[in-house]
Structure 1
Amino acid sequence: MITGSTRVAGVIGSPVRHSLSPVMHNAAFAAGGLDWVYAAFEVMPGGAAGALAGMRVLGIGGLSVTMPHKDDAAAAVDTLDAAAAALGTINTVVLQPDGRLAGYSTDGAGFVASLRDAGVDPAGLRVAVLGAGGAARAVIDALARAGAAELVVINRSGDRAELAARLGGAVAHRGEMGDIAGVDMVVNATSIGMGTDLEPCDVALLHSGQVVADLVYHPLQTALLRAATAVGAVTVDGLGMLVHQAVLQQQLWTGVRPDPAVMRSAAEKELAARHR
């Protein structure tokens, strides 16, 4: 029941009605007995600063930030955590008791948490990251912080690959598609495979003993993951990152860590309902 003391959180983006965040966060609030509610707010491009100003005025406790607002929101908050400062983007805003807005990037940390949840520790691993966009940059930054031994960034644009690799420091460099055969883990951080059977790389380079992670979660078992399973590789699907970044968000807003299993179950049920 919503009362006069119910705290409000939400997501801003455009478009945003497709977001799985409301079902995940509301399920976790209910399971944890928290007097919070989460809604989706359609905010047109260029409106991030106004939305965050409204957050202050209305006392909205927390916001998730999705495209196209991640850069503008980072510029509108008062403080940034280390990952957000490095990336220049945020996906989470927390209203502090003094009225200041704190910005965080939980995407990369959520990815690392999804690996560990699957029994994979990235420390000491050689990793190929496919892509150089926002998701890839968050993954590169987080894997470097988690102690990856080598990060090979593979992208059609070599210049963008080199820029993204800088986030990984000394362990990261631009690579080529053939490098996939020699790494311990492959991460698809592109949108290739979303809603299609396209593969983001030559799957003949995959082999047993590797870990293959795909950030795409529609379909949950992408063509890449199916090919990886066929050769005996360990696979990690994209829903894990979505869930764990949300877990970190909710913990920042409420101080209580939600159950990832509750969030994942809610997301799976919603995805199944959409694709019947």
Structure 2
Amino acid sequence: MTFSNEAHRAAVLGSPIAHSLSPVLHRAAYAELGLDRWTYDRFEIDEAGLPAFVEGLDSTWAGLSLTMPLKRAVIPLLDSISETASSVEAVNTVVFTEDGRRRGDNTDIPGMIAALRERGVEKTDSAAVLGAGATASSALAALSEICAGPVTAYVRSRERGKEMRGWGERLGVDVRISDWAEAGRALHAPLVIATTPAGATDTLTDDVPARPGTLFDVLYEPWPTGLAAAWEARNGAVIGGLDLLVHQAALQVERMTGRAPAPLAAMRRAGERALADR
């Protein structure tokens, strides 16, 4: 489906949401695509307020981007979800069809794969994941496509370890669990995906090996993280959160507007400028 340049609306929802770069990226895409009657906003919405917000949308709405804590809460409000979204029980994209149906999708997973491939990471024999939150499950889903061997997850609790094993079984990934106290060992893997909050990996900087592989740190602010800076200092390849954000947003733009390919370079430039101005 390809929308014409009629007035259409889209937005990102979540709580907190003021920090979101999504409006910058989507608006840059609309400008590049000549969609000057499209608008993209942000709304502070929590789980309790989500049903009323969605029910109140009219036919001018093309889609929604969803961040925490709404990626799972939105599922009961949808008419269908993609296999990708179903695999991790998380929807970050809602597209409204011309007949008014709500279709849920997840662009985090293919966005992560695209960001890795952009940096030449097509396949890996093994990998390590730091953390066990929602982004970690998306990382496992991405690794199910590119990792031939085991994935070791470094977690802080047995319960989180159990959850990661469950996701691994569901996604067909050989997940092995290690305690966070051993996280320094993770950095010797050929591919390390850090999904932890800001500051959580700062204590690992001295553990970066002399010849590191590839680090994918999903944070984009502050950037670089201490771990990413130490990694680059040892000439390791680093993929950052902005790479992920741009790739998943580009896929959202394509699904919402029907225009492909999305203007990835223009979106990245806009994101870089916005971060530099903060």
Counterpart of 1:39 in structure 2: which amino acid? D
1:54-108, CA deviations, whole angstroms, 9 ceiling, x for partnerless residues? 23x3441010011221111122111111221122221100001221111111112
After TM superposition, the structure 1 = structure 2 runs for residues 1-276 of structure 1, keeping only pairs within 5 Å, are: 5-34=6-35, 35-55=37-57, 57-121=58-122, 123-168=123-168, 169-176=172-179, 177=183, 179-193=185-199, 199=202, 201=204, 203-256=206-259, 257-274=261-278
Instruction: Report the RMSD for the aligned CA atoms in angstroms.
Output: 2.1
Is the Cα–Cα contact under 8 Å of residues 144 and 171 in structure 1 kept in the other structure?
Answer: no
Q: Conserved in 2, the CA contact under 8 Å of 1:140 and 1:165?
A: no
C-alpha distance in 2 between matches for 1:62 and 1:200: 40
CA distance in 2, matches of 1:178, 1:271: 29
The 3-state SS of whatever aligns with 1:116 is helix
Show structure 1 runs of 4+ deviating over 3 A: 200-203
Give the structure-2-normalised TM-score. 0.88
Structure 1 spans left out of the alignment, 5+ residues: none
Whole-Å separation in 1 of the counterparts to 2:8 and 2:148: 39
**Aligned mates of 1:8, 1:86 — CA distance in 2:** 28
CA distance in 2, matches of 1:95, 1:73: 14
Q: 1:20 to 1:172 in 2, by over 3 A?
A: same
Measured in 2, the distance between the counterparts of 1:86 and 1:19 equals: 25
Higher relative contact order (CA 8 A, sep 6+): 2
How many residues are aligned here? Answer: 267
| C-alpha spacing 1:125/1:99, structure 2 compared with 1 (3 Å) | same
Q: CA 1:200–1:118 in structure 2 vs 1: closer, same or farther (change >3 Å)?
A: farther
Supply the AA of the counterpart residue of 1:5. E
Partners of 2:165 and 2:145 in 1: CA distance = 13
- Give the distance between the partners of 1:203 and 1:60, measured in 2 at CA: 49
- Between 1:240-249 and 1:218-227, the stretch displaced more is 218-227
What TM-score results when the alignment is normalised by the length of structure 1?
0.89
Query: 3-state DSSP class of the match of 1:186?
Result: strand
SS at match of 1:163: helix
Distance 1:68 1:170, change over 3 A: closer
**Unaligned regions of 5+ residues in structure 2, if any?**
none
The answer to whether the 8 Å contact 2:7/2:60 transfers is no
Does structure 1 retain, via aligned residues, the 8 Å contact 2:144–2:173?
A: no
Q: Which amino acid aligns with 1:127?
A: A
